[in-house]
Amino acid sequence: MGQTEGKHGSILRATLELISEHGFHGTSMSKVAKKAGVSAGIIYHYFSNKDELINELYIGVKRDFSEMIIKRLDESQSLRKQIRELVKSTIEVSVRRPEEMLFMEQFLQSPYNRPQIQDTVNTYYEPIMNVFNKAKQEQIIKPLPDPVIFALTLDVAVSLAKQHAAGSLHMDEELIEKVTEACWESIRQ
Amino acid sequence: MGQTEGKHGSILRATLELISEHGFHGTSMSKVAKKAGVSAGIIYHYFSNKDELINELYIGVKRDFSEMIIKRLDESQSLRKQIRELVKSTIEVSVRRPEEMLFMEQFLQSPYNRPQIQDTVNTYYEPIMNVFNKAKQEQIIKPLPDPVIFALTLDVAVSLAKQHAAGSLHMDEELIEKVTEACWESIRQ
Amino acid sequence: MGQTEGKHGSILRATLELISEHGFHGTSMSKVAKKAGVSAGIIYHYFSNKDELINELYIGVKRDFSEMIIKRLDESQSLRKQIRELVKSTIEVSVRRPEEMLFMEQFLQSPYNRPQIQDTVNTYYEPIMNVFNKAKQEQIIKPLPDPVIFALTLDVAVSLAKQHAAGSLHMDEELIEKVTEACWESIRQ
Amino acid sequence: MGQTEGKHGSILRATLELISEHGFHGTSMSKVAKKAGVSAGIIYHYFSNKDELINELYIGVKRDFSEMIIKRLDESQSLRKQIRELVKSTIEVSVRRPEEMLFMEQFLQSPYNRPQIQDTVNTYYEPIMNVFNKAKQEQIIKPLPDPVIFALTLDVAVSLAKQHAAGSLHMDEELIEKVTEACWESIRQ
DNA sequence: AATGAATGAGGGTTCATTCAT
DNA sequence: GATGAATGAACCCTCATTCAT
């Protein structure tokens, strides 16, 4: 792993794994170094400090997630189908990548989360926002504020993926379909 | 504050405020002591260690929340009305008590959260669970697993309260009504 | 126990038991209070501080031991018999009272042990010293300095009792007899 | 001192000096750091915690002592001479290295002393045990249990060195010779 | 005489960060 | 680029002692 992605990547990956498993509290720079197979000092060559390491990780993970979800969008389809696809993709991606998902959830509740970071990250989600906004304009879904639309769809998706990761719920294809339907019904006009 | 509730209460309150504002990482026992207006040592007279302090705080807050929500239930009303009331109450309580809400959200993502704690806490929510389960039996709402029903209703409520607290959304009475309606439509049969 | 000996005695006894079992490090004033069944504060009514508590305990135990040993002396017997009796008594008393013995051994190696304490305590052992000194004058035993004579007899006795308490050696009557003989042979003229 | 032996050695030496002078209670990690001329944190780079630091120190000192004593053994000599040499060496080494000797005595009476440590340390003393055991087999000394033989010889030696270090006895060459003779007579057949 | 809440210094230990090599 | 020894502040917690009641 360390060979193909370089030290920069090894450090990010080690940080991700440690935080997703042991939380921010249990993730010291020296543990990151050990897990990444590098010296403690070299981390500061690639990242100016712990804050930047974690912020960069968060932004990268967020971009990866948005890309994976956007990649599945098919603009030739109806907005209704596109929105349902967004919900489904979010669940599936979050279930398939539990470490990244758990890390993002922890980040949101941590002091590392600053408004400026969210501003950066939100730009990645603009294509997704656009789908919802178009649907709002065409009066296909309810005229609710963006954060509410998100809470009713994508936040629900992540919430379920978290329970799947915790083992308290098994998200199979059938259940994903049903949940997607439920989310859709909450926002449809 | 310290005068009316005693040191035990001052310590819990100081802990709540610090964690809701600066997170677990930024909440040291000495800061708790300073904020509570007591010496560092006396905390260990009331709580055997930091874990117990935080667990006791969490359990207490969780009980308060469940009581405030359950208090509003009126069993003489239709299950549909009761469920909508549950969603509304959860939003309103979470909006009215942002510190407690943020603390609980942080707790869930922290290493302090252990299964045994959730077992304890879940008993407080049984009356709420019962409403949903009766509605499922009477085929008023969809036959989805409990965690899914929760994700589509109460989790959405907290998610919105969090955005309200962050200032990225203003939850007024009208919006609460609309959201309640949306949540209801996601689970209705 | 607490009833018959009073608080003063309960505190001393609790201190003895705690130190013999857990050492000085593991013996806090609050543990002493709990074990003695008294409040932490009252200890300072009977003893001005921890040092005095421990010193008083040491001096008392030392006096008890010396008395038990001296009580068995029979001045009508030969000096040879008297000296053998001293060794035997020391072993037997130390084996029968392991807590006191272990406490004294710990005390000697602790910072509580100050020359002035030993001066006090040595007066209790004067009758014992006198037996050895008379034997030296009558050239029954070797003309070695007092501390050497003690090391070859009473210190050996305590050393064996310590091993007995640790379980690495069982001191029965037969072995005590043999050891007494060995000690005697080391100092006899 | 720190320059020639490195920080690892400075820390061990500082620990030894502090414990021999002020006991375990008076030896905090920060005092060790100050005396060793290092920061408090670096100690944990060389030793995983206080226990390991002290255990490693004890084992090292014990090995040094056993080596110094064993080095003087001459197997070509009679067992009687060898045993007398063991007693003499033990006294001399203990007198020459009072800090190490006092540290070892404190260690034995401390909670750091665990059976496993003694097992490790006892292997260093096997060559010494063998001399006594051969003498027992050849019926040169009494058939007493090993711990008793030790109490009558090596323990006496340490006991005398302790008094020498305390200033209550001066062990010169002539006295060492006499004591060696006395010890020998206590165990000879 | 007696309680036990309260203090605050000090305990062992961890950790982000730096810097000589 | 890379190492890992080194720092020192901060962490959680314990404890002898005091004092209002």
Tokens of A65: 């997630």
- pLDDT band at residue C1 under the 50/70/90 scheme: very low
Are residues C175 and D148, on separate chains, in Cβ contact within 8 Å?
Answer: yes
Give the C-alpha separation, C183 to C78, whole Å. 17
D–A contact: 3+ Cβ pairs < 8 A: no
Which contacts qualify for B169-176: CB closer than 8 Å, 24 or more apart?
B169/A145, B169/A147, B169/A148, B171/B91, B171/B95, B175/A144, B175/A145, B175/A148, B176/B88, B176/B91, B176/B92
DSSP assignment of C20-71: HHHTTTT--HHHHHHHHTS-TTTHHHHSSSHHHHHHHHHHHHHHHHHHHHHH
Domain co-membership, A41 together with A5? yes
Contact, A41 CB vs strand F, < 7 Å: yes
CA A47 / C1′ F5 distance in Å: 21
Of all nucleotides, the one whose C1′ comes closest to residue C30's CA is F15
Give the C-alpha separation, B161 to A150, whole Å. 13
Burial of residue A68 (number of CB atoms within 10 Å: 0-12, 13-18, 19+): middle
Identify the weakest region by mean pLDDT among A160-164, B108-112, C61-65. B108-112
C-alpha closest to that of A88 among A22, A161, A1: A161
CB-based contact D117:D55 (threshold 8 Å): yes
Tokens of B81: 């009305």
Nearest-CB residue to C147 (from D148, D163, D178): D163
Burial of residue A117 (number of CB atoms within 10 Å: 0-12, 13-18, 19+): middle
Are residues C23 and D182, on separate chains, in Cβ contact within 8 Å?
Answer: no
Would you call D97 helix, strand, or coil by DSSP?
coil
Bases in strand F with any atom closer than 7 Å to a protein CB: 1-20
Q: Mean pLDDT across the stretch B117-121? A: 96
Is B53 contained in some domain? no
How much is the pLDDT for D2? 39
Domain co-membership, C38 together with C66? no
Contact, B129 CB vs strand E, < 7 Å: no
pLDDT 10s digits, A77-118 = 999 999 999 999 999 999 999 999 999 999 999 999 999 999
- Residues of chain B with Cβ-Cβ distance to A142 below 8 Å are 178, 182
Is A12 contained in some domain? yes
Is B66 contained in some domain? yes
Q: What is the largest CA-CA distance in chain D?
A: 57
Are residues B25 and A106, on separate chains, in Cβ contact within 8 Å?
Answer: no
CATH number at residue C164: 1.10.357.10
Mutation test of the interface with chain D: which of C185, C187, C188, choosing the one with the most D Cβ atoms within 10 A? C185
Q: How many CA atoms, within 13 angstroms, populate the side-chain half-sphere of residue D15?
A: 25
Residue D80 belongs to what domain range? 50-187
How much is the pLDDT for B4? 64
How much is the pLDDT for A5? 81
Contact, D96 CB vs strand F, < 7 Å: no
CB-based contact B154:B66 (threshold 8 Å): no
Domain co-membership, A81 together with A34? no
Contact, B51 CB vs strand F, < 7 Å: yes
pTM value is 0.93
The whole-angstrom distance between B108's CA and the closest CA on chain A is: 9
How much is the pLDDT for B1? 42
- Residues of chain B with Cβ-Cβ distance to A51 below 8 Å are none
Contact, D27 CB vs strand E, < 7 Å: yes
Domain count along chain D: 2
CA dihedral over D20, D22, D26, D29, signed as positive or negative: negative
Domain co-membership, A182 together with A91? yes
CA B53 / C1′ E7 distance in Å: 20
Are residues D145 and C175, on separate chains, in Cβ contact within 8 Å?
Answer: yes
Residue of B nearest to A119 (CA): B168
Is B33 contained in some domain? yes
> Is the pLDDT score of A2 beyond 80?
no
Is A66 contained in some domain? yes
Of all nucleotides, the one whose C1′ comes closest to residue A45's CA is F1
Domain co-membership, B29 together with B94? no
Domain co-membership, A131 together with A94? yes
Domain co-membership, A21 together with A113? no
Amino acid, res. A34:
K
Who contacts A147 (Cβ-Cβ below 8 Å, separation ≥6)? Answer: B160, B163, B168, B169
Q: Which residues pair with C141 in a beta bridge?
A: C188
Domain co-membership, C167 together with C137? yes
pLDDT 10s digits, A120-163 = 999 999 999 999 999 999 999 999 999 999 999 999 999 999 99
Residue C160 to residues C38, C99, C165, C176, Cα–Cα distance (Å): 36, 15, 9, 9
CA C41 / C1′ E2 distance in Å: 8
Tokens of C99: 């807590």
Domain co-membership, D96 together with D171? yes
Number of H helices, E strands in chain A: 11, 0
Which contacts qualify for B143-146: CB closer than 8 Å, 24 or more apart?
B144/A175, B144/A178, B144/A179, B144/A182, B144/B187, B145/A169, B145/A175
Q: Which ranges in chain B belong to alpha helices (H)? A: 2-22, 29-36, 43-46, 50-71, 79-96, 98-108, 115-124, 126-137, 146-152, 154-166, 173-187
Domain co-membership, A42 together with A68? no
Who contacts C42 (Cβ-Cβ below 8 Å, separation ≥6)? Answer: C7, C33
CA C139 / C1′ F7 distance in Å: 66
pLDDT 10s digits, A67-87 = 999 999 999 999 999 999 999
CATH number at residue D22: 1.10.10.60
Burial of residue C104 (number of CB atoms within 10 Å: 0-12, 13-18, 19+): buried
